[in-house]
Amino acid sequence: MIKKIKLAHKLEGIIKAPGDKSISHRAALLNSIANGVANITNFCEGDDETAMIGCLKQLGADISEIPNNDKNSPAYKIRGNGLNGLSEPKDILYAGNSGTAMRLISGLLAGQDFYSVISGDNSLRSRPMKRITTPLTMMGADIYGRSNASYAPLTFNPKRLNSIEYDMPIASAQLKSCLLIASLYASGETLLNQPEESRDHTEKMLSAMGAPINKKDLAIKIKPGELSSINVKIPSDTSGSAFWIVAACCHPNAQLKITNVGMNPTRIGVIEVLQSMGANLKFENESIQGGEPVADIIASTSQLEGVEISGEIIPRVVDELPILALAACFAKGTTTIKNAEELRVKESDRISTTVDILSKLMANINETPDGMVIKGTGKLIGNEIESHGDHRIAMTGGIAGLLSQGETYISNSDHAEVSYPRFWKTLDTIIS
């Protein structure tokens, strides 16, 4: 599919982004191994929903879709049968394009008393899994995979797990969550030491469900223990909302309201960066839903300034760096992105693909080994660009098209549907 986009004269409207992917994954998985019944509303959309729910159902989880007032937001009832209530799948588990599903479910499979195999699409089978298989093996897991368990498909044989003390080599919510889930099946107390803070949805949810978990600074201790089911209303995805926030801030005549956005401190790095650049943002209807802070965000035309994005904030903005690179094109001065090597092992090499699409739109942007350097010019020129099979690159290209002079054509734009099926329809509604 090729999407044609013209420079918008004005951007205005109210937007509800899809449910947060990170929280959706955890709510489904943890409630499937809890005791009791839970209703999960405003679940994420697209391939991530299909991957996580499909894998859990293959493992025997009792999950049924329930009516929801918002037809665009899936809702599920999950009847949990405890930590040991799952069963051996009859076929290979398929995680699609979802790295989160692959890594979190691997932590679950490592502690089961049955045989299982998990795989994914071409992109996911090329993404690094050694970061999870190494510590899982240290816990006693019996794992096989391509290149010495470096890549999927991954095979898990029944094995009893032991607790470990592990110094995480990178700040990764997926790695941390994988090990926390596996620790529920291990003997004794597991200690994880993080190098930096990353998304803490797993710790929050485990605590709310009664797990014996304790966090002090960057250290997390957890013991095995049964979980109690909890209802979860998923906030709107912070990463998905970032595209509209940047669109409004960079457009010369714009005001967009994005509702019920997740404001977890470990997720709002993109908002912090934009505020440091001078973004015109207002927050309304701030509240707590299911232990997670949420708010409506009103983003308006802004005079942005270039900044350096590096160090401890990188793990909290890694998914939003492509759209932040676009914002930097409209900022005064130079923006430098450093310490972002992790971008190279996402759905695409997001350093190279971000530089590619923005360069074709005449941005002054250069690739570095661990990031990018962008000199703001205040304008882009429409051109033909490619999504590179990456949903975030497709959506970044879409927002860039709204801001570029002339017309922009995005090849394989349908890849946006992986995480945001309504993205292009929503984009069309805010143009006036």
CATH of the domain at 215: 3.65.10.10
Q: Which of 190, 214, 233 is the last residue of a domain?
A: 233
Q: What Å distances lie between residue 325 and 104, 158, 163, 238, 243, CA to CA?
A: 29, 45, 41, 17, 11
Mark whether 71 and 206 lie in a shared domain.
yes
Mark whether 240 and 227 lie in a shared domain.
no
Write out the two tokens for 67: 């009516």
Which pLDDT belongs to residue 239? Answer: 95
Which pLDDT belongs to residue 47? Answer: 85
Mark whether 250 and 120 lie in a shared domain.
no
Which pLDDT belongs to residue 69? Answer: 73
Reported as a single tens digit per residue, the pLDDT across 295-332 is 999 999 999 999 999 999 999 999 999 999 999 999 99
Mark whether 253 and 402 lie in a shared domain.
yes
Mark whether 120 and 257 lie in a shared domain.
no
E strand segments, 161-240: 161-162, 165-167, 186-187, 190-193, 213-216, 219-222, 232-233
Which pLDDT belongs to residue 381? Answer: 98
* Average pLDDT, integer, range 355-363: 98
319: annotated active-site residue:
yes
Mark whether 130 and 58 lie in a shared domain.
yes
Strands 232-233 and 35-41, by their bridges, are: parallel
DSSP letter, residue 140: T
Mark whether 199 and 211 lie in a shared domain.
yes
Q: Which domain holds residue 306?
A: 2-18+235-429
Mark whether 192 and 298 lie in a shared domain.
no
Which pLDDT belongs to residue 292? Answer: 87
Mark whether 210 and 146 lie in a shared domain.
yes
Mark whether 159 and 256 lie in a shared domain.
no
Mark whether 142 and 203 lie in a shared domain.
yes
- Percent of the chain exceeding pLDDT 90 equals 93
Give the integer Cα–Cα distance in Å for 338 and 328. Answer: 14
Q: Which of 165, 200, 233 is the last residue of a domain?
A: 233
Q: Which residues pair with 385 in a beta bridge?
A: 410
| Residue from 167, 319, 390, 414 carrying the catalytic annotation | 319
Q: How many domains does the chain have?
A: 2
* Average pLDDT, integer, range 225-235: 95
Which pLDDT belongs to residue 291? Answer: 75
Q: Which of 207, 233, 259 is the last residue of a domain?
A: 233
Give the integer Cα–Cα distance in Å for 167 and 29. Answer: 25
Q: What Å distances lie between residue 79 and 71, 110, 120, 365, CA to CA?
A: 22, 22, 26, 50
pTM of the model: 0.89
- Is the peptide bond prior to 153 cis by the omega test (within 30 degrees of 0)? yes
Mark whether 135 and 281 lie in a shared domain.
no
Helices (H), 139-219: 146-149, 173-183, 201-208
Give the integer Cα–Cα distance in Å for 226 and 206. Answer: 10
